[in-house]
Structure 1
């Protein structure tokens, strides 16, 4: 079959959708399918295409770009990963030529998909009220797909003592949340714990860090690297794709929402799985509260292990195989 993937990336959109879609596309190719990408203009996408991007990819030039590609290449499945809105007329025209599959597309056009895959659990029943009766809905963490680098890593083993704490905000951190976390952790009083900030390829935090006059010598900064993050004993994470990645790899996590919707999702996940600690919305997180939750986990191995064990019951690495079965089926 022929697939067209609509995946925007970079800037405020972030990179999580991009990396998991690449993994899915590669697996579909190995199964004999062909995949083409289409995207909005961004510096990140430009860099990818200048560095031997492994798939044919087209930038959206007009409102009809996707439809033109679908017709020209006789696309069987139009797969959209991300919150991208389409008009009713556009969707109806696409459906004349191709099946529409939305993956975590929470836009107003979500109701019109032929297949709607939602790899999260915090939406209430009312969320699905207005979907077309013909739409096939698949909801749950069992459909979560990952960056291919995650599948290559070995699950972390529990540690007796916390020495290194990683701090991440995905690939872009558009709200500069790492800067706020840094301003608080600078005052964390412990000579036995190191904080390592990992900045993404589309983030400016490294520049901010270099110009910071830190009094705490236990704080350092490194480029985002899954294997190095996994070497940490505890993780502070902006809630998003990266949070799930390190949950499945066996890391105890304290999460925060970089925007209100993320914090609601993080709170729900923490409450219903007990697989992570949620601080809530970053704008409401006080230094005192952050330190309180940090000390609880630093001092209590049993609590850390319980988070990890609960996370294992909630999510695994086989979501991509489940998604492939869904999108391959007619």
Structure 2
């Protein structure tokens, strides 16, 4: 079967949609599906897909697919706000439509809506003709996040992980490194940046002066997270990856739609919500680090129970059933 995956990526939108669909594509490809990607002409995302062996074509969000003579068994759409006309046009090219975390009216015309950020109660109503998969049990994480929980690393491995995202255009990564160097009782840890990060040379100099190892474009995120009790991250998928790996996320919302997710982590005591980008400062971080080890351990356990890391299996099974 042939699938089209349509997604958004860029300096502002980031790389989260691309990473999610790459994980899904790898799993679907292993089950015999052929996949074409459609996304904006954003070099870091295109290079990531190319390195993984996938074909990609430039296509802006809500634009019609450029492969006019190709019919697809399904179009998988990872866009934040689709329009009904866009979905109707896709239906002329694809037998089934699957949408991820779509807050636009186009989702009312899809065959399958997957939104791990919402519950059925918190979602806006959708027609009965649309099959829905809501909740954190449908998070599309890499398969290694489903493996058994490991204890945090010993002190000499470093306590803190900083992983803001594949782009981090606001350069929160550097902000947190500099703050932790001044307020942490045991500064040190690991810093991860992605292919769209634009300040690598300067960050490398800063990390080399402290006790931080700097990693770029990692492929073993679950293993790295398990080595750290605390992960400083944004409110996207990295927050939930940290929970699945047993690392407590200290979350900064870098976009308005991330605030509710971060607040939910705070309310359920599975993470610490630091605030928005503008609110981050040294006293705030220092205060958050006052949580004792017993509370951190309890939060790790709750997070792992909340995000079991098996969402990929459930989502792939639903897509296979839809296409059968």
TM over 0.5: yes
The equivalent residue for 1:155 is 149
CA distance 1:49–1:275, shift in 2 (3 Å): closer
Match of residue 114, structure 1, among 111, 116, 133? 111
**Structure 1 residues 193-204: aligned runs within 5 Å:** 193-204=187-198
How far off is 1:123 after superposition? Answer: 8.3
Kindly indicate whether the alpha-carbon contact (under 8 Å) linking 2:80 and 2:101 is maintained by their aligned counterparts in 1.
yes
Q: Distance in 2 between matches of 1:178 and 1:242?
A: 14
Kindly indicate whether the alpha-carbon contact (under 8 Å) linking 2:265 and 2:272 is maintained by their aligned counterparts in 1.
no
Q: Deviations over 1:194-245 (max 9, x none)?
A: 243322221123233256599x744554435324454233221122111211
Q: Distance in 2 between matches of 1:62 and 1:261?
A: 18
Q: Distance in 2 between matches of 1:58 and 1:149?
A: 29
Larger Rg: 1
SS of alignment partner, residue 186 of structure 1 = helix
**Structure 1 residues 137-286: aligned runs within 5 Å:** 137-147=132-142, 150=145, 155-158=149-152, 163-188=158-183, 190=185, 192-210=186-204, 217-219=210-212, 221-225=214-218, 226=221, 227-271=223-267, 273-286=268-281
The equivalent residue for 1:4 is 4
Q: Distance in 2 between matches of 1:171 and 1:324?
A: 24
The equivalent residue for 1:57 is 56
The equivalent residue for 1:90 is 86
CA distance 1:124–1:182, shift in 2 (3 Å): farther
Q: Distance in 2 between matches of 1:36 and 1:135?
A: 24
Q: Distance in 1 between matches of 2:61 and 2:243?
A: 39
How far off is 1:137 after superposition? Answer: 1.9
The equivalent residue for 1:313 is 305
Match of residue 100, structure 2, among 100, 103, 126? 103
SS of alignment partner, residue 209 of structure 1 = helix
CA distance 1:305–1:31, shift in 2 (3 Å): same
So what's the TM-score if we normalise by structure 1?
0.83
SS of alignment partner, residue 267 of structure 1 = helix
The equivalent residue for 2:296 is 304
5+ residue gaps, structure 1: none
5+ residue gaps, structure 2: none
Q: Distance in 2 between matches of 1:94 and 1:157?
A: 46
Q: Does 1:128 align with 2:124?
A: yes
Q: Deviations over 1:140-191 (max 9, x none)?
A: 001001135646x76331467694211110111122222332343332153x
CA distance 1:36–1:217, shift in 2 (3 Å): closer
CA distance 1:254–1:74, shift in 2 (3 Å): same
Kindly indicate whether the alpha-carbon contact (under 8 Å) linking 1:116 and 1:137 is maintained by their aligned counterparts in 2.
yes
